[in-house]
Each structure stands twice: as structure tokens, then as C-alpha cells.
């Protein structure tokens, strides 16, 4: 089947210069950066789900609802974690049902880790749908809220404007972010751009940092 050329605009929300149109990649309705982010979010969510579950206290008292029919004190409860888990179940359930129904296939088991792996195999199909932007935005919102539930300090930090040069498009207008692994985390530290395909592990940060500072100075001077 002949794939159409990139003649549509990316429908996802962009943090930097949100009103500036981004051309969608060939055959889909997301720009290259958002297409990469879609995969990244589906990879990150299972690990965040496990971390959020671990954030629930296992003993003691708290501010949760009292046990029905009992004088026992309220069960330990983390409202933010509970809300996030409910939203995660809803969004993943909705997306997997959408894909399964539309493609005439059997949906996965309703477990976040299984659902995310399954959705990752259909990510290209999701990216080609008219509502690809909202799908990516919903997953991005889950990731951001998940970091905030587990530990606010683990939320991705904004580094600044991207300095990559895109083929046939000139300078990337995206934003570079970093998420740093902390003791006990299973998610590795990573730096990435929310628009282009830049994604770096810690072994690449030093060299990139030097180039980033040099390019930033040159842009400010020129």
C-alpha cells in the first residue's frame, strides 16, 4: 500500500511554542518526536504502575475511608495514587478496546503491563488515526501524574530549547527534558526532546552537554 506523504499537521500538544504547527511524519498524524514519545510513554507506564502500587502504605492508620461495619480506624490510603490508578485503568482500557474493536482482534488482559506491551505493537496504527494527538497527550498526562505520585522530585525537568538540526526542516523547535534515576528506581535516567527523536542515556550526557552549551551560546550571539 502506498503511504501518503506528510501533508497533515501533528495533532498532539507541544510544550514549546504550542501554537506553532508541526508537520506530521509520512503516513501518520504525529510529528516524529511525538511518535517517539508514544513508544516511550507505553514503555514507562508499566514501571510507574509498579512504583505507584509500592507507594501505598502496608500498615498503620491513615486518612482513608473507614472499614464498612467496623469501628476500626481508616485504612491507610494515598488519594493521589488511587486517582492515578483509576485513571490509568480507564485510559488503557479505553485504548485497548478501541484498537481491538476497530481492528477486529482480541484485546489483552486488563493488566497495565500487558496492555502497554500490546498497545506498543499497535502504536503505528494509533499514530495514523485522526485522534492520534489526543491519544499521545493522554499517555503523556498519565506519565507526568505518575511521576508526581511516586515522588515529585522524579518528575521530568525542563533543560531548555533543543539544539538539534532536522533534515530539511532546520533547527528543532522542541524542548529537552531529563528524568533522573534515584536510588531504588527501576526506570533508567534519560534525556530526550519532546519534538525530535533525540534520546540520550547517561553515558551520552557529558558530550551532549558541551555541544548544547556551545550551540546555545552561538545562537544567543548570532
Please state the domain extents for the chain. 32-221
What distance separates the 2 farthest-apart alpha carbons in the chain?
Answer: 72
pLDDT digits (tens, 9 = 90+) for 86-114: 999 999 999 999 999 999 999 999 999 99
**Interior/surface letters 153-186, b for 16+ CB within 10 angstroms, e for the rest:** ebbbeebebbbbebeeeeebbbbbbebeeeeeee
Neighbours of 197 (CB within 10 A): 15
| Residue matched to cell numbers 505518575 | 146
What the block records as the C-alpha cell of 12 is 498532539
What is the pTM for the complete model shown? 0.71
Per-residue pLDDT of the chain (222 residues; tens, 9 = 90+): 344 444 588 999 887 777 888 889 889 999 888 898 899 899 989 988 998 888 776 544 444 444 444 444 444 557 888 899 999 999 999 999 999 999 999 999 999 999 999 999 999 999 999 999 999 999 999 988 888 888 766 667 888 888 887 766 677 877 888 887 666 666 678 888 877 778 888 899 898 888 888 888 887 776
In angstroms, the CA 107 to CA 98 distance is: 9
Residues 6+ away with beta carbon under 8 Å from 111: none
Amino acid at each position: 500500500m502506498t503511504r501518503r506523504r506528510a501533508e497533515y499537521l501533528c495533532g498532539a500538544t507541544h510544550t514549546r511554542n504550542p501554537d506553532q504547527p508541526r508537520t506530521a511524519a509520512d503516513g501518520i498524524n504525529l510529528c516524529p518526536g511525538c511518535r517517539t514519545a508514544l513508544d516511550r510513554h507505553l514503555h514507562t507506564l508499566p514501571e510507574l504502575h509498579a512504583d505507584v502500587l509500592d507507594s501505598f502504605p502496608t500498615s498503620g492508620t491513615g486518612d482513608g475511608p473507614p472499614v464498612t461495619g467496623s469501628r476500626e480506624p481508616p485504612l491507610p490510603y494515598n488519594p493521589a495514587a488511587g486517582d492515578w490508578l483509576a485513571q490509568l485503568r480507564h485510559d488503557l482500557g479505553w485504548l485497548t478496546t478501541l484498537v481491538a474493536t476497530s481492528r477486529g482482534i482480541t484485546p489483552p488482559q486488563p493488566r497495565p503491563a500487558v496492555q502497554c506491551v500490546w498497545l506498543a505493537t499497535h502504536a503505528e496504527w494509533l499514530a495514523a488515526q485522526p485522534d492520534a494527538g489526543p491519544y499521545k497527550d493522554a499517555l503523556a498526562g498519565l506519565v507526568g501524574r505518575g511521576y508526581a505520585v511516586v515522588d515529585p522530585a522524579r518528575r521530568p525537568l525542563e533543560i531548555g530549547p533543543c539544539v538539534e538540526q532536522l533534515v530539511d526542516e532546520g533547527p528543532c523547535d522542541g524542548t529537552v527534558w531529563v528524568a533522573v534515576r534515584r536510588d531504588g528506581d527501576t526506570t533508567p535516567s534519560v534525556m530526550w526532546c519532546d519534538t525530535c527523536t533525540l534520546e540520550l542515556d547517561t553515558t551520552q550526557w557529558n558530550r551532549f552537554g558541551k555541544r548544547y552549551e556551545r550551540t546555545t551560546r552561538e545562537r544567543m550571539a548570532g
